[in-house]
Amino acid sequence: MYKIHKLSKILSILLVVGVLGALALYTHTARSSALQNMSGFAWGGDWTDQNGNNIQDLNPNNVPYEPTGGVGWISFNCTSGGNCGSDDYGVNIEANGDLVGYAWSSNYGWLKFGGLAGQIIDPDIYDGNGNLIHNGLEIPSTDAKLNGNNITGWARFCAGAADPNTCNETTPNPLNGGWDGWVSLSGSNYGVTLDPTTGILSGYAWGGNDNGKNVVGWINFTDVIYEPVVGPTVSLTVESNSIPTGGQVELSWTGANLVNSSTGCEATGGAPSDGWTDDLHASPAGSFDTNDINTIGTYTYTIKCMGLNGQWSPTSSVVVTVGVDLEFSAEPSPVYDNENPEEAYHTVLHWGVDPIDGELVNCQATSSTPGEDEWDGADIDDPNPTALFGPIYVPADPTSYTITCQNTLTPPQNVTKTILVYREELPATLEFWPSSVNCTNNLCTATLSWNIVNGESCVASTIPALPPTGWGGSIQVSPGFGNQPGVLVPSAPDTTIYRLSCDMEFGPDLVEEFPLNSDSEASQPPIYQEN
């Protein structure tokens, strides 16, 4: 197996014919799964040029020499070979580094990884009279394994085994002239390596033996890719954690790295006869509305889904209380008040029990902005149909508000309702005007004022560009009004155009400008126009 020999064209042809004959004797069946983390192709061949020199040019589209043997393309996943419908196969690198599964060559059949340890490679061979006719190396095989960034051990073309269907015999297939199918993945001057950054393999494996039966020769792994399959996840959510008696639980779930199957997820828990566990549910996303639930209590709904790696996802759960429903809303929508900025973004929180078929007590108020709003930690009464709180300032977009109470079940259970309150933004606006013009000792200055709503950045400039006038560069943007006093203006009849250009958070960028000199009069804010 270890000695590299040149082949004669005749020997190579005979061996290839023998291998193909052996392949016809066993069934082409599925050997693994398409859900494996290796893909792409290796290219195998022991080629010689016209002078008999061994070369390894592995580009099948540019072969300027006459091949004398070779295994050709080896597919590491049926998704690469495009035939998963008939043969579902692939090679997987397990969490412990072991390579398991099957690759496929249309010329040489199945290349097995894993389950080969302990077999004797190149055994001694005796004739029928017990005479030694071949002194083999008798090396025990080791399974293919990723050690660090190097792949070591052995793989085997099953056509080289005495029984290609089991692929486990030490004895070679007699139809192959002594070829045993073994492929060494590492040696003293060769090997297969993995780039951990890109997941691309490189280097060579060697398939041959010490008798010159160099059937497979070099196998290049350059086009083989390792893509670890990330473990599956699923998240179950519910429209409301509390519903009235006779209501329905509205469930939905999404997942990642899941098998796309109508029976890929398993549901457990729930209320009696609500239908949640009657069927397996679709993945990787779905929704389900239960039957009407008339039994007061607290119920846990769970789901888990099958992942691409053949493992179940962690279970995701939600808890639902049946018997009393907590209503919670915010009205009106918090908006920006252009005329009264100090009253901008305020709302009123409303809560209560509706319908009233139970009681909630010991209510607590929390928010996503503790310390920035009046709701968080507020002393609120137990809910009733007309309870309200506010107006309160909404400090972020969005801000989440939560009310948590206890029902009167034994033992009591928490009933929680959370709402998201979004700021309702007005259209972005820019107003720009001269609020004063004054001249002293032939020096004229103006105060330029602006009002900006939903601006991100503004730049001041003049037309034509002037030496330092007190107006130029970036303007600090903040909601509401701003001004810049002491801006120099030219003496009449000379005129300068003063401009303010703003990038707005919403809508198009805006520009306002006006001409100004010593004879100009101060003005009030102009009517907003979009430029």
Looking at the fold, whether 295 and 338 belong to one and the same domain comes out as: no
Helix (H, G, I), strand (E, B) or coil at 337: coil
Residue 56 lies in a domain: yes
Instruction: Give the three-state DSSP class for 279.
Output: coil
Q: Is residue 96 part of a domain?
A: yes
Q: In this structure, are 70 and 208 located in the same domain?
A: yes
Tokens of 216: 């497979």
pLDDT of residue 358: 64
Residue 186 located in a structural domain: yes
- In-domain check, residue 524: no
Domain stops at, among 293, 322, 351: 322
Of 455, 470, 466, nearest in space to 510 by CA: 455
How high is the pLDDT of residue 278? Answer: 73
**What span, in angstroms and rounded, lies between the C-alpha atoms of 307 and 321?**
31
Does 91 lie in the same domain as 14? yes
- Beta strand 99-105 pairing with 38-45: unpaired
Tokens 């960034």, residue?
149
Backbone angles phi, psi at 65, to 5 degrees: -130, 165
Q: Are residues 365 and 488 in the same domain?
A: no
Predicted local distance difference test score (pLDDT) of residue 146: 94
DSSP state of 117: T
Is residue 244 domain-shared with residue 143, that is, in the same domain? Answer: no
134 & 164 share domain: yes
Q: Give backbone dihedrals phi and psi of 12, rounded to 5 degrees, phi first.
A: -60, -45
Q: Is residue 530 part of a domain?
A: no
Which DSSP state fits 265?
E
Q: Are residues 289 and 371 in the same domain?
A: no
Separation of alpha carbons 107 and 89, rounded Å: 16
Q: Looking at residue 415, what is its pLDDT? A: 82
| Three-class DSSP labels, 128-179 | CCCCEEECCCCEECCECEEECCEEECEEEEHHHECCCCCCCCCCECHHHCCC
> Is residue 29 in some structural domain?
yes
Residue 1 lies in a domain: no
Q: End of a domain among 275, 299, 322?
A: 322
101, 95, 105, 121: which is closest to 113 by C-alpha? Answer: 101
CA dist., res. 207 & res. 14, Å (int) = 17
On whether both 156 and 243 belong to a single domain, the answer is no
Question: Is this prediction's pTM over 0.75?
Answer: no
Pair (222, 257) in one structural domain: no
Residues of the domain holding 62? 9-226
Dihedral sign of CA atoms 223, 224, 228, 232 in order:
positive
Residues 433 and 377 in one domain: no
Q: Kindly report the CATH number assigned to the domain that includes residue 454.
A: 2.60.40
Going from the first residue of the chain to its last (531 residues), give the mean pLDDT of each consecutive group of 10, the final group possibly shorter: 32 42 42 64 64 44 45 85 73 90 89 90 70 74 93 91 82 69 89 91 79 66 84 89 85 86 83 84 80 88 86 90 83 74 82 69 90 88 79 89 84 83 79 90 89 85 80 76 89 90 80 91 58 35
- Same domain assignment for residues 58 and 200: yes
For residue 142, tell me if it sits in a domain: yes
- pLDDT one-digit tens code per residue, 53-74: 454 443 344 444 334 456 788 9
Residues 6+ apart with CB under 8 A from 108: 19, 23, 44, 71, 72, 157, 159, 216
Q: Are 201 and 192 in contact (CB under 8 A)?
A: yes
Task: Give the domain-ending residue among 303, 322, 341.
Answer: 322
How far apart are alpha carbons 320 and 302 in whole angstroms?
Answer: 11
CB environment 19-48: b (16+ within 10 A), e (fewer): beebbeebeeeebbbbbbbbbbbbbbbbbb
Domain count, the chain: 4
Amino acid (one-letter) located at 91: V
Q: What is the CATH number of the domain that holds 283?
A: 2.60.40.10
180, 215 in Cβ contact below 8 A?
no
**Same-domain status, 508 and 388:** no
CA-based nearest residue to 407, from 377, 381, 383: 383
What is the DSSP code (8-state) at residue 77?
Answer: B
